[in-house]
Amino acid sequence: MPDNSDAPLFKKGAKLTNGYFTGDAYLLPLLARDKNNDFVIGNVSFETGARTNWHTHPKGQVLIVNEGVGFYQEKGKPAQSIKKGDVINIPENVEHWHGAAATSQMAHIAITNFLGDTNVVWLKPVSEEEYNTVNKQ
Amino acid sequence: MPDNSDAPLFKKGAKLTNGYFTGDAYLLPLLARDKNNDFVIGNVSFETGARTNWHTHPKGQVLIVNEGVGFYQEKGKPAQSIKKGDVINIPENVEHWHGAAATSQMAHIAITNFLGDTNVVWLKPVSEEEYNTVNKQ
């Protein structure tokens, strides 16, 4: 039985056009919130150079990187390089961004917990200057 | 930057010796329960023929298959073939098992919710007869 072992884990989802991403990013929904699961799960694919805006999660988020190389940065701290196989446990109410490197695409599963009906608070874009600084480290 | 794109998503973890699996299965812990995440996450790798015992989860479990081909079966229902890229949302208190096919290994991420301090109730092994029946379907 073929298992597509050489293929990406997930197909690319729909292009994100909500204004909270820079560059080309795609979302494939994997699981909706329900009575057992107080979170939503999706796979986000970032083309080279693409990244989220700065944002916070009121009850945190877990990322499981499954393709490529990118960055995770909390405000006021150095960016961390993240790659396939890494798991990132993002604390609640900490301003941060994640995305692809300038030289690689990146994809991660995102498990995003809810606090009431909110699971993300979007802030301003990661500027070219901020992004370039991280990529030159 | 290398991203090991041809490698499995996760390395194989420690061999499971708790008596609740048939055959060779391995667990790589990915995330512990904490104040934001009311679940535990791990990657379970099943060698060909390996499977869980029958069991239930008091608050359900989500599987994300990331390698190979296997089966998921709820008691009294036909088994479902599962493969890389599939997401299975297992209901609460439903007796079931999961594992590799007789002809393929399989690995899945497991996100297992807690109800109080319990996230799984183990039952009896999947017999050779039960397993062979599923693999002949």
Contact of B48 with chain A, judged by CB distance below 8 Å, is answered with no
Residues of B in contact with A56 (CB under 8 A): none
Local confidence band at B132 (pLDDT 50, 70, 90 cut-offs): very high
pLDDT (0 to 100) of residue B1: 46
Q: Are A71 and A82 in contact (CB under 8 A)?
A: yes
Q: Which listed CATH number (2.60.120.10, 3.20.20.110, 1.10.1530.10, 3.40.50.300) goes with A24-136?
A: 2.60.120.10
- Say which residues have a Cβ less than 8 Å from residue B133's Cβ, sequence separation at least 6: none
Q: Is the pLDDT of residue A63 over 70?
A: yes
Is B31's CB within 8 Å of A89's CB? yes
Calculate how close chain A gets to B120, using CA atoms only, in Å. 14
Give the pLDDT of residue A6.
74
pLDDT reading at A61 higher than 60: yes
ipTM: 0.95
Chain B interface includes A62 (CB < 8 A):
yes
pLDDT digits (tens, 9 = 90+) for A98-128: 999 999 999 999 999 999 999 999 999 999 9
Compare CB distances from A37 to B31, B60, B84 and report the shortest one's residue: B60
What is the pLDDT, as a whole number, of residue A1?
46
**Mean pLDDT on A59-77:** 98
Give the CA angle between residues B50, B125, B119 to the nearest 5°.
90
Whether the predicted pLDDT of B53 surpasses 50: yes
Strands in chain A per DSSP E: 14-15, 21-22, 25-31, 39-46, 51-52, 55-56, 61-74, 80-83, 87-90, 96-100, 106-113, 121-122
pTM of the model: 0.96
Tens of pLDDT, residue by residue over A1-55, are: 455 667 899 999 999 999 999 999 999 999 999 999 999 999 999 999 999 999 9
* Span B30-39, pLDDT tens digits: 999 999 999 9
* Residues 6+ away with beta carbon under 8 Å from A97: A51, A52, A53, A54, A55, A71, A72, A73, A126
With 60 as the cut, is the pLDDT of residue B122 above it?
A: yes
Distance (Å, whole) CA A71 – CA B62: 27
- Amino acid at residue number A6: D
Q: Is the pLDDT of residue B2 over 60?
A: no
**Distance from the B57 Cα atom to the nearest Cα atom in chain A, whole angstroms:** 10
Q: Give the residue with greater pLDDT, A137 vs B133.
A: B133
Interface test with A, best of B10, B67, B83, B84 (most A CBs within 10 A): B84
Cross-chain Cβ contact B84/A7 below 8 Å: yes
Convert the pLDDT of each residue in B55-75 to its tens digit: 999 999 999 999 999 999 999
* Mean pLDDT value across residues A76-85: 97
Looking at domain B21-136, does it have CATH number 2.60.120.10? yes
What pLDDT score does B4 carry?
A: 62
